[in-house]
Amino acid sequence: MEVKAVFFDIDGTLVNDRKSVLKSTKDAIRIVKEQGVLVGVATGRGPFFVKELMEDLDLDFAITYNGQYIFNKEKVLFASPIAKSSLRQLIAYAKKERKEIALGTEHAVVGSKIMSFGLGSFSQLVSRFIPTGLTRTVSRSFNRMVSKAVPQKEDDLLRLINEPIYQVLMLMTPEESEKAASDFDDLKLTRSNPFAADIINQGNSKLEGIRRVGKEYGFDLNQVMAFGDSDNDLEMLAGVGMSVAMGNGSSSVKEVAKHITASNQQDGIHKALEHFGVLASEKVFVSRDYHFNKVKTFHHMMDERTQEEPQAWDVEGATHRADFKIEELVEFVRAASSSEEEFQQALNSMHAALDKAAEKVRQKTPAQKDLIGQVDALIDTLYFTYGSFALMGVDPERIFDIVHEANMGKVFPDGKAHFDPVTHKILKPDDWDEKYAPEPAIRKELQRQLKAYERHKERNK
């Protein structure tokens, strides 16, 4: 899968707990953009909050208010204000239920001086230290305190909705927001923290915002990598091609995401971009071959080095690399054999073919260390491999990503590869089979390709 665009949630993801962007994240975004990848944010925050980030990080676009307001450096790409009738209904509901609300405009969040608690900074920090079972009690207690301390005036709120309102923030527990959702058919309630609900128009979301941006810039959801940490990121993470949960993210986010990285305090974004080969490990050259960049990242992680200057292998290294290929070829032939006898016959043929090839090469070229000869042979091997897939009718792109993720899963929690002290082979973490064994995912992908072919055949009857 080629990543054409990367999207970050902001709170708990793009910024650390001090609301600043880590240097490693800034460096990663800069390098990724230099490689031609588009970068943006998808957030519940308003456009006024994002504009400074866009300038500092040179972002290409921003999806704000959970997909309600989308813009780039030059113009607004999409804006979906909440209907006045729905706003009046929300204001009446808030008065009846004694709920504090705030209104999100293009330029500010208005209507409540105290609701800054519910806007992420403090509430997200506090929520980490409050047991899940107490969240409801804390939220209700705070709501009662707010309503008594600074009661909102309905007339003031009604005057504020004369300008476009893109999102309403209402202080309520998750249980209360689930119950309230049935009272507002045209609206959707989502959450970025345990204390307040973000209320937007039905049909809009971070994921739908990404889809809209993709139509404008020429990429689809399968070519998107997205990062998030909270429950209002769930739909986005479930819908894009490559999803990453931050180490500080909620348990539900970690269940949905394809990969869990380090926290927003521990270079999580940089590590994930490098892990998947989106961020080139070395700056000397970046190939236009996306798969090559991924394998290069793997070797950087495992060997802690990469080769930037074109250089031929010595005979020991070339033999070692050939051994790997021979093992895979034997596995390939075994997977084509229907019995042990047939497998042995195939092995005998391979031995004969090896002897025949050796004699042919001896007559063709003298034995010498030759960069051109090595490259030519390896490209032919690569071409034959693609030819085998073509003749099998199998698209290898997603399968390559599955195997790459399995290989990168061999990195231990300390961020390093571990090796057997005797054989020097790469060891696998204890949970590797459960999390990364590629066979189930390959089987699922092949089933998808078979079903796609059957649909194609049915349509062309």
pLDDT digits (tens, 9 = 90+) for 202-242: 999 999 999 999 999 999 999 999 999 988 899 999 999 99
Residue 257's Cβ-side half-sphere holds a number of Cα atoms within 13 Å equal to 23
Residue 50's Cβ-side half-sphere holds a number of Cα atoms within 13 Å equal to 28
% of the chain exceeding 70 in pLDDT: 89
* Residue ranges matching CATH 3.30.1240.10 in the chain: 84-201
CATH number 3.30.1240.10 is the correct assignment for the domain at 84-201: yes
Q: What are the CA-CA distances from residue 387 to residues 191, 264, 293, 439 (Å)?
A: 49, 43, 22, 22
Record the tokens describing residue 231, joined without a space. 């429950």
Report residue 125's pLDDT band, with 50, 70 and 90 as the boundaries. Answer: very low
Residue 253 has pLDDT above 70, yes or no: yes
pLDDT at 69: 98
DSSP 227-267: EE-SGGGHHHHHHSSEEEE-TTS-HHHHHHSSEE---TTTT
DSSP 8-class letter at 419: B
pLDDT at 425: 79
pLDDT at 126: 43
Residue with tokens 């380090």: 262
How does pLDDT run across 375-386, given as a tens digit for each residue? Answer: 999 999 999 999
Q: What is the CATH T-level fold of the domain 370-461, as seen in this structure?
A: putative ntp pyrophosphohydrolase like fold (1.10.3420)
C-alpha 185/C-alpha 179 separation (Å) is 12
pTM of model > 0.85: no
How does pLDDT run across 281-336, given as a tens digit for each residue? Answer: 545 567 778 888 888 878 877 776 778 889 999 999 999 999 999 999 999 999 99
* Residue ranges matching CATH 1.10.3420.10 in the chain: 370-461
Select the CATH number that applies to the domain covering 5-75+205-279 from these four: 3.40.120.10, 3.40.50.300, 3.10.20.740, 3.40.50.1000.
Answer: 3.40.50.1000
The H or E element that residue 332 is part of is: helix 315-334
Nearest CA among 172, 198, 207, 171 for reference residue 67: 207
pLDDT at 279: 80
* Residue ranges matching CATH 3.40.50.1000 in the chain: 5-75+205-279
Residue 276 has pLDDT above 90, yes or no: no
Residue 6: strand pairing partners: 39, 225
Decide if 265 contacts 19 (C-beta within 8 A): no
Residue 122 has pLDDT above 50, yes or no: no
Decide if 224 contacts 6 (C-beta within 8 A): yes
